[in-house]
Amino acid sequence: MQTFSTTSLRVRDNQLSILDQQALPQEKIWHATPSVASLVEHIQTLRVRGAPLIGLSASLLLALLAENGMPKAELASALEVLRAARPTAVNLMNNLDRMKQALAQENFVAALSEEALRLVAEDKALCDSIATAGSELVSPGSRLLTHCNTGGLATAGVGTALGVIARAHQQGKVANVWVDETRPLLQGGRLTAWELGELGVPYQLICDSMAASLMGQGKVDAIWVGADRIAANGDVANKIGTYSLAVLAHHHGIPFYVAAPHTTIDRLCPNGAAIPIEQRDAREVTGVAGSFGQVQWAPENASVYNPAFDVTPAALISGWVLDTGVVTPDQVAAGFFQPD
């Protein structure tokens, strides 16, 4: 496979490497990822994260394994192992469905490589289209609030919600970005703050619990988030804490936008209640670990509830900003996301 790189993925000498998003922003560490087991570990520990990036990393690894001689039957098994790596982000399933079709071809090695590279190129184009469509919704002088991380670290391109914000900043329309720290893994504080700083976008980092106060003071003009899955009725699964922001935005009359590629739509999932929600390790809540070491602040035997995602009902969403354009609540009510 040809040599190429994105913000978080690179392929050199027929080997996939990933940028460790657990080590950022203090360290830039690239991990060689030669096997299914190594990628599954990276995905589950969130060294690789972001719905689009998870799907792309799995697709690229399958193609490289094929080029390096893995038999067709083993590739089929590897594909299903990767499919189960994280249950909520539907991009992984959608990408692997396309890779499964490539695997069925007679010349499956070439087909897998071509499809994986096509998915990467498509994601870059999708991100650019989302940024173009979304930036038109941003008014000059906007103070925007975002949650989790939706930039180039999570995609092959400029990102989804953060791509919109970056594009609007280039157009001179962003006065400030409020960055939720995003519990429990602080992906806003570690990753979004870092990305915005690299892009020169003015931002202020806040604790998640400060968002309501800012809205009450009239200091938030719109909220932009990404998505890990969009159900057929428009309900959206995203990083835990997104639903809270949507409720607050509704109460304060603030637009609440979801930015995502069409690969995040699950037309066969009827509603948010049918979306599987990943439960994560209690240690992500009872303490913190990073390049600095590990700190435990809760009792050792503390009982913990730690869902990675929550579901925002379609009724609380002002618009779904896709690569195909902005989808309105009326369009969703008329069945835009329903199966054809």
State the DSSP string of 178-232. Answer: EEE--TTTTHIIIIIHHHHHHHT--EEEE-GGGHHHHHHTT--SEEEE--SEE-T
Dihedral, CA of residue 186, residue 192, residue 197 and residue 201, to nearest 10: -130
Contact in structure between 147 and 174 (CB atoms under 8 Å): no
Nearest-angstrom CA–CA distance, 18 and 14: 13
The two three-digit tokens of residue 145, written as one number: 């609030």
Specify whether the CB–CB gap between 97 and 144 falls below 8 A: no
In order of 29, 100, 310, the CA distances from 18 in angstroms are 8, 23, 27
Distance CA 317, CA 236 (A): 9
228 is catalytic: yes
Query: In this structure, what token pair is assigned to residue 41?
Result: 């570990």
Cβ(193)–Cβ(54) under 8 Å?
no
How far apart are the C-alpha atoms of 155 and 153, rounded to whole Å? Answer: 6
From the candidates 20, 228, 235, 323, which is the catalytic residue? 228
Which pair of tokens denotes residue 1?
Answer: 């496979």
Active site residues: 228
